[in-house]
Amino acid sequence: MALLEVSHLSTWFHTRAGVVKAVEDVSFTVDIGETLAIVGESGSGKSVCCYSLLGLIPCPPGRIESGSALFEGQDLLTLPERNLRALRGREIATIFQDPMTCLNPYLSVGEQLIEPLIHHTGATRKAARKQAIELLEEVEIPDPAARFDSYPHEFSGGMRQRVMIAMALIAEPKLLIADEPTTALDVTVQAQMLKLIADLQARRDLGVIFISHDLAVVADIADRVAVMRDGHIVEYRATGDLFANAQHPYTRDLIAAIPAGGKPAPATPSDRHLLEISHLSTWFRARTGHHRHAESSMIKAVDDVSLNVREHEILGIVGESGSGKSTLGRSVLQLVRPTSGSVKFAGVELSHLSNRELKPYRRRMQMIFQDPYASLNPRMSVFDALAEPLIYHGLANRKTVLRQILALMDDVGLARAAIRKYPHEFSGGQRQRIAIGRAIATRPELIIADEPVSALDVTIQARILKLILDLVDKHNLTMLFISHDLSVVRYLCDRVAVMHRGKLVEAGDTETVWAQPREEYTKSLLSAIPVAPATSTAI
């Protein structure tokens, strides 16, 4: 008998705009010791499907319309809330995408482990502390006894996710639901997390449901894959069979969207250096400890970096979180003032200019941020968002602004009918198109793109990358493309620069770095890239 058997599950949301069929007639099983991956884009219903099993769908507006979910013979969908609450955490545990929203910032991680340990196992506080430290050790937190009293903000993203996994394991569950647990992590940290989950599963004989939008991530860890689209499972089979012979067009699209090759039809950059970075350092003062006993130290976010960028070139800056790549981009634009060194744009030293003197150069240098929902003003329509930089820099007037905005919308693939809509009315990919339109509105020569596709589904990511290539070619742009995803960088960039702990450790032509990396850190980044089976088609 399967550990979990879901049959004909349908979950609908009843809204003012009508009924949204988030999950429709879904069936699947999970066996003991098996990993089932549920894959699909945002809005496909994959998370709603699993939350329905746990009674975590808000009712109203949500409602389970039909189906059954047998867990060790008990139907989760008909269990009284009291019984279901007893199962949650004890028999079925969940790891969420963003641990920072799940962990209490006011409590140490040790306290947050002790509380459920006492609740689920009835252990004494002393025994719970000992067990909590053992759990931290099992999920490979360095020096677990010392980190027991640390707070969530004192951990990296990967370490916080390890804490979440430790919390999930407290009551020794039989089924683990992992909802996009590695999406926000760097490629090396992601590889470590996937290995950790696989090791824990083998050690504890867990059943695992792994929810993801990225087929490449699940290729190595899943026994079977269920592909969801618009609330339906469109394909459901063994992982190897799926990659070797995908049947549904949507599955083939997902596989094709996995970045796996070099840049298509590369442009030829100029020999002229548009951007010259020389011995650039940006340091921040940090305080360690608490209250009056706090000590001051320097964080060398960017440490003696020298780099040139040629006209019409796309240069990738890669590295893990904390490597200094985003600070480098902001230092170039003088959004963060460097501690020392030189930044020359078109031969002009920027670091000595006042904010007023920088204004004409800001028109020529623009930035695309990771999260357009945060970078776009929610009170501004598309018209307002695109008009603002045009008017601020004196590039449009009342007579010409509408024509220029419509041309920008055409450039970035936005329907003209959406000109009066607001950011919340768009999908993530469409919002990023607005942000890109805003960045190119001033006709810049240099764009710094800081993780512009990392929050997007793989198929949307592929479309945005193609758009970026088209715009670079059409407008003769130079781009600094910052990313932790080396597959994306290989697809997009002419050259790549690798950063580690604030320093530039390797730089060169993209394909040369891929084929013959010199530094051990670069080799570790490349070896951590999730790779779909070679039989699949990729962009």
Rounded Cα gap, residues 133 and 119, in angstroms: 17
Element (H, E) at 299: strand 295-310
CA atoms of 397 and 152, how far apart (whole Å): 49
**Nearest CA-CA partner of 438 in 384, 394, 360, 379:** 384
Question: In angstroms, rounded to a whole number, what is the distance separating the alpha carbons of residues 36 and 469?
Answer: 36
Q: How many other CB atoms are there within 10 angstroms of residue 198's CB atom?
A: 14
pLDDT 10s digits, 181-221 = 877 677 777 787 788 888 888 888 889 999 988 888 888 88
What's the pLDDT tens digit per position in 323-348? 888 899 999 999 999 999 999 999 99
Q: Do domains 4-91+173-256 and 273-527 have the same CATH topology?
A: yes
C-alpha torsion angle, residues 39, 210, 320, 451 (rounded to 10): 30
Q: Rounded to whole angstroms, what are the CA distances from 373 to 74, 328, 335, 379, 434?
A: 42, 23, 20, 11, 10
Q: What is the DSSP string of 405-425?
A: HHHHHHHTT--GGGTT--GGG
pLDDT given at position 536: 44
Residue range 127-138: mean pLDDT, rounded: 87
Higher pLDDT, 364 or 299: 364
Handedness of CA 386, 387, 390, 392 (dihedral sign): negative
- pTM, two decimal places: 0.74
- Neighbouring residues of 66: CB distance < 8 A, sequence distance ≥ 6: 8, 9, 10, 25
Higher pLDDT: 136 or 428? It is: 136
Say what the pLDDT of residue 537 is: 47
Q: Which CATH class is domain 273-527?
A: alpha beta
- If pLDDT is split at 50, 70 and 90, which confidence band does 532 have? low
- Quick one: which of 264, 321, 266, 355 has its CA closest to 485? 321
Tokens of 413: 């693939």
Could you tell me what percent of the chain has a pLDDT over 70?
A: 93
| Chain length of the chain | 539
Q: What is the CATH number of domain 4-91+173-256?
A: 3.40.50.300
3-state SS, residue 136: helix
pLDDT digit string, tens, across residues 62-73: 888 899 999 988
Residue 290 clears pLDDT 70, i.e. is over it: no
The domain segmentation of the chain, as residue ranges, is 4-91+173-256, 101-170, 273-527
Which has more confidence, 461 or 315? Answer: 315
Residue with tokens 């006709």: 443
Helices 125-138 and 157-168: crossing angle in degrees, nearest 10, is 130
How large is the average pLDDT for residues 101-128?
85
Q: Is residue 107 classed as helix, strand or coil in its secondary structure?
A: coil
Cβ atoms of 45 and 22 within 8 Å: the answer is: yes
pLDDT in tens, 366-395: 999 888 878 899 999 999 999 999 999 999
User: Looking at residue 504, what is its pLDDT?
Assistant: 94
Q: What's the pLDDT at 260?
A: 63
